A = this chain, B = another copy of it.
Amino acid sequence: MPAQRPARRSPAMDALSQDTKSRILDAAESLFTAHGFEATSLRQLTTAAGVNLAAVNYHFGTKEELFQAVLTRRLDPMNQERIDLLARYEREAGGRPLSCEKILSAMLIPALRLSRDEKRGGKDFLRVLGRAYADPAPFIRSFLSEQYAEMISRFKDAFLKALPHLTKQELTWRLHFVMGALSYTLAGTDALKLMAHVLPNDKDNDEMLLQRLAPFLAAGLKAPLGDTKKLELVSGT
């Protein structure tokens, strides 16, 4: 088992050669992004990180626990930031309900910050996260459930006040769609190639992306309740 207080390294420990644990986390983040959880082997991972094969099991226990560690390292602070930002907005509004766009900002801005603040890890992480949303593995699903429970609950309350024409159930669905568009968008830069060669490939891609996503989601959330007859199945031909 790893020590509670890790031993210090030799005299020069610069930013380039971090400690083993961080090196593993960084390599894992990027490799899980590139190949997915199952398709990433601990051998390629430890090689990429420049550490011994056994280091993963020593520091994290199992491969699954490593994956959870990859997620928590960034997800925990990001969701906390979301909650704090929402609380701050609510304080500033002093009782009056927040606008839909404002609440969305509280969700998107921390994600946007994350994608830009890190040297490289930020974007990789958001992609890992986007993929994790769609992963059926139980240990991933239950882990995400726990991680998100509080944040989702708070934002649902906020949205309920901002969108009084929606029932609780309708809002649940729409939040589901929001999370879908968000995670998919974060997960798949490549996916854009499905439909276009338009991508300008900027460096601040993600900022532009979220600035386009926000109005789209806000409009969707504010939409009037659907007409039940709209999607009637059309018979043949």
Q: Which residues of A contact B (CB under 8 A)?
A: 33-36, 38-39, 85, 88, 101, 105, 108-109, 112-113, 130-131, 133-137, 141, 144-145, 148-149, 152-153, 156, 168-170, 172-185, 187-188, 190-196, 198, 207, 209-228, 230-231, 233-234, 237
Contact = CB atoms under 8 A, between A and B. Distances in A.
**This chain's copy number in the assembly:** 2
Chain A contact residues: over half helix, strand or loop, or mixed?
Answer: helix
A231 B216 contact: no
Top-8 shortest CB links A-B: A180-B184, A219-B223, A38-B38, A215-B226, A220-B220, A216-B220, A181-B181, A180-B181
A231 B217 contact: no
22 contacts: A36-B38, A101-B230, A108-B231, A109-B234, A133-B184, A133-B191, A148-B194, A149-B194, A152-B194, A156-B195, A170-B212, A176-B185, A177-B212, A207-B231, A211-B228, A212-B226, A215-B227, A215-B230, A216-B226, A217-B220, A219-B220, A219-B223
Contacts of A237: 88
A85 to B, nearest CB: 7
Residue among A109, A173, A183, A185 with the most chain B CB within 10 A?
A: A173
Contacts of A176: 185, 191-192, 195
A130 to B, nearest CB: 6
A51 to B, nearest CB: 24
